[in-house]
Amino acid sequence: MNPLYYVSIVREALNEDLGFQDLTTETIISESHCSVAEITAKETGILVGMDIARCAFELLDKKVNFQAKIADGARVSPGQVVAVIEGRTRTLLGGERVALNFMQRLSGIATVTNKAVESIKDFSSHLVDTRKTTPGLRGLEKYSVRMGGGYNHRFGLFDAVMIKDNHIAASGGITEAVSLVRAKVGHMVKVEVETETLPQVEEALQTPIDIIMLDNMSTDQMKEAVQLINKKVLTEASGGITLDTLVRVAETGVDLISLGWLTHSAKALDLSLNIIE
């Protein structure tokens, strides 16, 4: 990741939590008081966020010593120490909540992603994320999906073309929409079309696109569509897929399965920071 990207996010988060001062710590604990703290996993999952957590402490005091005990993407167990931090107590307590808030959220995303990935590991389908991410944290959340074993869909509206129902309606049809896009968009941009019916899939197949999304189709429809498309372009299943229905979707042979809940509804992974000496 671009370090300038996440440093500015962490700086804003520290300012949000600390404001002008840490009323409690600055009143009770002297500036020179030092401690050692551990960050510990309290449940099983995939840990993400080491550089973010380090950054939270180093922005408050460059001299803090942050030692990561594992790398991003590693599986952790309850009680496992994931990082040890030495420095001024004010720094440790001032950065604690921000470091944990990031790590818990990002690890939660990686953990649920990994669970979903594991559930279809016998199939060839790849899991991908969506743009349904937390405002302001998209780069970090997409990174977490990768750490959990998933893949990234486009980042935003600017880096790939996705022709949706409203585009199709406004332009008069898939053929017309793709034609407009191909006339203007550069050669480094991939084009995906959203389809909801098999006739739409057939129309899309006649156009120069890279991916066909099968949106809100039944798994029977998906199977038929996959056969129709026959690997000529990539296929993506999307819409209303849950952890329970995932295997059945993977069985259809689609190349990609996109899941909004990897990022918009992930449960935080429980972690804690304790001063040990």
As annotated, the active-site residues are: 97, 132, 164, 194, 215
Binding mask 224-253 toward its own copies (x if CB under 8 A, else -) reads: ----------x-x-----------------
DSSP 269: P
CB of 92 to its own copies, least distance (A): 8
Among 262, 272, 223, 236, which residue's Cα sits nearest to residue 81?
A: 272
- Binders of its own copies among residues 95 to 114 (CB under 8 A) are 97-98, 100-102, 104-105, 108
CB of 69 to its own copies, least distance (A): 17
CB of 89 to its own copies, least distance (A): 6
- Binders of its own copies among residues 38 to 67 (CB under 8 A) are 59-61
d(CA 71, CA 120): 25
d(CA 175, CA 243): 34
Task: Kindly indicate which of the ranges 114-122, 200-208, 245-253, 265-273 contains the residues binding its own copies, using the contact rule CB under 8 A.
Answer: 265-273
5 lines the binding site for its own copies (CB under 8 A): yes
Which one, 193 or 201, has the nearer CB to its own copies?
Answer: 193
135 lines the binding site for its own copies (CB under 8 A): yes
Using DSSP, state whether 213 is helix, strand or coil.
Answer: strand
Decide if 67 contacts 83 (C-beta within 8 A).
Answer: yes
Other CB atoms within a 10 A radius of the CB of residue 233 amount to 19
70 lines the binding site for its own copies (CB under 8 A): no
Pairing of strands 271-275, 34-41: antiparallel
Pairing of strands 211-215, 234-238: parallel
d(CA 114, CA 83): 22
17 lines the binding site for its own copies (CB under 8 A): yes
Decide if 66 contacts 49 (C-beta within 8 A).
Answer: no
Other CB atoms within a 10 A radius of the CB of residue 167 amount to 18
CB of 172 to its own copies, least distance (A): 10
- Binders of its own copies among residues 165 to 184 (CB under 8 A) are 166-167, 169-171, 177, 180-181, 184
Q: Mutual orientation of helices 50-60 and 3-18 as an angle, nearest 10°?
A: 60
Size of the site for its own copies (CB under 8 A): 100
Query: What sign does the CA torsion over 20, 22, 24, 26 have?
Result: negative
Pairing of strands 126-128, 81-88: unpaired
198 lines the binding site for its own copies (CB under 8 A): no
Among 81, 189, 198, 247, binds its own copies (CB under 8 A): 189
Among 44, 185, 206, 242, binds its own copies (CB under 8 A): 185
Which one, 34 or 81, has the nearer CB to its own copies?
Answer: 34
CB of 163 to its own copies, least distance (A): 6
